[in-house]
């Protein structure tokens, strides 16, 4: 992973000192809350429903054991003993005091972490495939490019006050695990016929009030043009993006209102002006950054392991874990392990300080000191020997993190909702917990198969409900919470926005409604191999609408 040099350390230290003075002035009354708000937001500090919330950046979802231990320490010392992993591969602390936040940032800086640009109308934390550098299907590790984008975008003087927040995601494999098509800029690594590395570029994706799938603007962008082309996109957006209406200020609206071809022409014109200037990436600089992300020395091992197979044959819980929480690795005899942060009946994405310490310890012993956070709110050990999986599983069982449900119906993405967020109009967490409990049986989850449920507590869609196979949006209606259901969403290389299928359901009704949808799917699928999404795309809305609402 990337290591700070003197510039990086000085940069973060200086920013921390600036914020310490800003907090001092807020506490003394020299700054009003209105004056303080843009300053705290640029340092990841929100004022939530009950308390401040600090959002800490985990660039492209990569961290090591020492950093995870620091997050555990912050949860234990300055919060209430837990943190919440988010869909931008960040972590949020929900209860820090304002007076403590400068010290938290100082402690983060000690382990090369920060909270810069985790909020505000700027370029947010760049996200990437959580199996980056390990996946068997990967064309190239996307993280060096994500790091280059991070360095370019940090406190960029031209893009620190954009019309609205701006999000970039990058994937290194044909199978998109980073949801690139629902980002302002989505990048997919590819190689042309000459074997050169470059990017497929999508622009104008995003969820929230007006969900849209990104539009392709480049089939192949050469590696050396990454920053110049990104800068061209941002300049066009900064110039033409609406500032009169925050609900229409994202680049997706600009794409929609201007038209793709006209916007592409503007981007290409700006790109032509700056392509061969200071933003052109020298090959030696890319290779220098790439060297930071060299994989650990992994021994080529047999693709099967006797002890692993024996445990799988004798232990049903381990067999379920092995079936769903292991991902193929590029080096034989190794796998990537998903540690589910979705215990049955638990809060999706939450991790206690004890659990974070245990993850750090496991990664140090078995995982080459590498940890990833997925946008699906789980934790990944990217480089693990297949033979070590049983020992890891036993430790996860003891820590309450051994649920073998990755990609299944209980692996729910959920925002904090009205339990924490001042913007939310309904609760997300209790609904996620009740669905998890309803479908928590191992046999039932296995029978249902791959099914992604995503829940948001308001129209801002922090729970990515628009791209859930089943999406749930909580809304307030006459003082009560109601839940609107969408079907058919997806965030992979075949991205789609879910369709609203009818009236919403009360909090008491919504879990039963989900069960009706699941039972309908089980009744109409052609085989166990046909997933919920495949079945929905084959038959459409009608069978599900009829099951929920009848024929009247």
Q: Which residues are 135's β-sheet partners?
A: 329
**CA 378-380-384 angle, 5° bins:** 155
Q: What share of the chain is helix, strand, coil (3-state, %, to 5)?
A: 40, 20, 40
Residues present in the chain in total: 552
Residue-wise pLDDT tens digits, 333-365: 999 999 999 999 999 999 999 999 999 999 999
And the tokens for 83? 């943190």
And the tokens for 173? 């494999």
Phi, psi (rounded to 5 degrees) for 455: -125, 130
By three-state DSSP, how is residue 443 classified? Answer: helix
The Cα 205–Cα 176 span in angstroms is 14
At which residue do the structure tokens 């919403």 appear?
504
Confirm if 299 and 334 have CB atoms less than 8 A apart.
Answer: no
Burial call 491-509: b when 16+ CB within 10 Å, e when fewer = bbeebbbbbebeebbebee
Phi, psi (rounded to 5 degrees) for 141: -70, 120
Predicted TM-score (pTM) of this structure: 0.97
The Cα 59–Cα 90 span in angstroms is 8
Cβ contacts of 209 within 8 Å, gap of 6 or more: 247, 459, 460, 461
Neighbours of 416 (CB within 10 A): 25
The CA dihedral of 200, 206, 210, 216, to the nearest 10 degrees, is: 0
Give me the pLDDT at residue 367, please: 98
Residue-wise pLDDT tens digits, 489-516: 999 999 999 999 999 999 999 999 999 9
Per-residue confidence in pLDDT tens, the chain, 552 aa: 899 999 999 999 999 999 999 999 999 999 999 999 999 999 999 999 899 999 999 999 999 999 999 999 999 999 999 999 999 999 999 999 999 999 999 999 999 999 999 999 999 999 999 999 999 999 999 999 999 999 999 999 999 999 999 999 999 999 999 999 999 999 999 999 999 999 999 999 999 999 999 999 999 999 999 999 999 999 999 999 999 999 999 999 999 999 999 999 999 999 999 999 999 999 999 999 999 999 999 999 999 999 999 999 999 999 999 999 999 999 999 999 999 999 999 999 999 999 999 999 999 999 999 999 999 999 999 999 999 999 999 999 999 999 999 999 999 999 999 999 999 999 999 999 999 999 999 999 999 999 999 999 999 999 999 999 999 999 998 899 999 999 999 999 999 999 999 999 999 999 999 999 999 999 999 999 999 999 999 999 999 999 999 975
Least Cα distance to 487 among 443, 436, 538, 527 occurs for 538
Widest CA span in the chain = 69
Give me the pLDDT at residue 380, please: 98
Concatenated DSSP letters for 81-95? Answer: SEEEE-TTS-EEES-
The Cα 11–Cα 193 span in angstroms is 41
The Cα 248–Cα 206 span in angstroms is 12
Give me the pLDDT at residue 187, please: 98
Cβ contacts of 532 within 8 Å, gap of 6 or more: 448, 449, 450, 451, 469, 470, 518, 521, 525
And the tokens for 185? 């800029």
């Amino acid at each position: 992973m990337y290591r700070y040099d003197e510039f990086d350390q000085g940069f973060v230290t200086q920013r921390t000192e600036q914020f310490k003075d800003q907090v001092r002035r807020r506490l003394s009354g020299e700054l009003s809350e209105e004056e303080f708000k843009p300053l705290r937001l640029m340092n990841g500090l929100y004022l939530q429903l009950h308390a401040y919330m600090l959002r800490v950046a985990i660039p492209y979802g990569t961290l090591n054991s020492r950093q995870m231990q620091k997050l555990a320490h912050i949860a234990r010392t300055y919060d209430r003993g837990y943190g919440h992993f988010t869909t931008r591969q960040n972590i949020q602390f929900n209860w820090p005091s304002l007076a403590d936040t400068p010290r938290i940032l100082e402690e983060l800086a000690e382990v090369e972490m920060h909270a810069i640009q985790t909020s505000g109308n700027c370029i947010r934390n760049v996200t990437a495939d959580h199996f980056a550098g390990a996946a068997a299907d990967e064309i190239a590790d996307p993280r060096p490019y994500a790091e280059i984008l991070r360095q370019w975008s940090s406190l960029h003087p031209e893009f620190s006050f954009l019309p609205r927040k701006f999000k970039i995601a990058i994937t290194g494999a044909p199978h998109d695990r980073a949801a690139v098509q629902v980002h302002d800029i989505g990048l997919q690594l590819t190689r042309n016929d000459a074997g050169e590395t470059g990017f497929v570029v999508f622009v104008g994706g995003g969820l929230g009030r007006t969900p849209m799938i990104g539009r392709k603007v480049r089939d192949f962008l050469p590696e050396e043009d990454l920053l110049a082309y990104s800068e061209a996109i941002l300049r066009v957006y900064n110039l033409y993006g609406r500032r009169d209406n925050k609900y229409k200020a994202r680049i997706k609206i600009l794409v929609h209102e201007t038209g793709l071809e006209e916007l592409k022409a503007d981007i290409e014109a700006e790109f032509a002006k700056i392509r061969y200037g200071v933003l052109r990436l020298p090959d030696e600089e890319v290779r220098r950054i790439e060297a930071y992300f060299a994989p650990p020395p992994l021994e080529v091992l047999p693709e099967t392991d006797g002890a692993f197979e024996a445990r799988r044959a004798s232990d049903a819980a381990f067999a379920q874990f092995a079936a769903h929480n292991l991902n193929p690795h590029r080096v034989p005899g190794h796998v990537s392990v998903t540690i589910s942060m979705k215990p049955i009946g638990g809060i999706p994405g939450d991790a206690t300080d004890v659990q974070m310490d245990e993850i750090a310890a496991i990664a140090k012993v078995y995982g080459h000191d590498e940890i990833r956070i997925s946008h699906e709110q789980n934790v990944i050990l990217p480089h693990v020997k297949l033979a070590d999986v049983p020992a890891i599983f036993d430790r996860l069982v003891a820590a309450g993190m051994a649920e073998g449900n990755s990609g299944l119906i209980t692996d729910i993405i959920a925002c904090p909702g009205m339990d924490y967020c001042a913007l939310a109009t309904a609760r997300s967490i209790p609904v996620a917990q009740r669905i998890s409990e309803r479908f928590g049986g191992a046999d039932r989850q296995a029978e249902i198969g791959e099914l992604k449920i995503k829940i948001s507590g308001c129209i801002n869609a922090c729970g990515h409900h628009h791209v859930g196979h089943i999406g749930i949006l909580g809304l307030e209606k006459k003082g009560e919470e109601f839940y609107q259901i969408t079907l058919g969403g997806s965030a992979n290389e075949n991205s789609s926005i879910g369709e609203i299928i009818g009236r919403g359901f009360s909090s008491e009704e919504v879990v039963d409604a989900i069960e009706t949808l699941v039972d309908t799917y089980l009744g109409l699928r052609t085989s166990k191999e046909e997933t919920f999404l495949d079945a929905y795309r084959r038959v459409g809305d009608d069978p599900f609408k009829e099951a929920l609402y009848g024929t009247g």
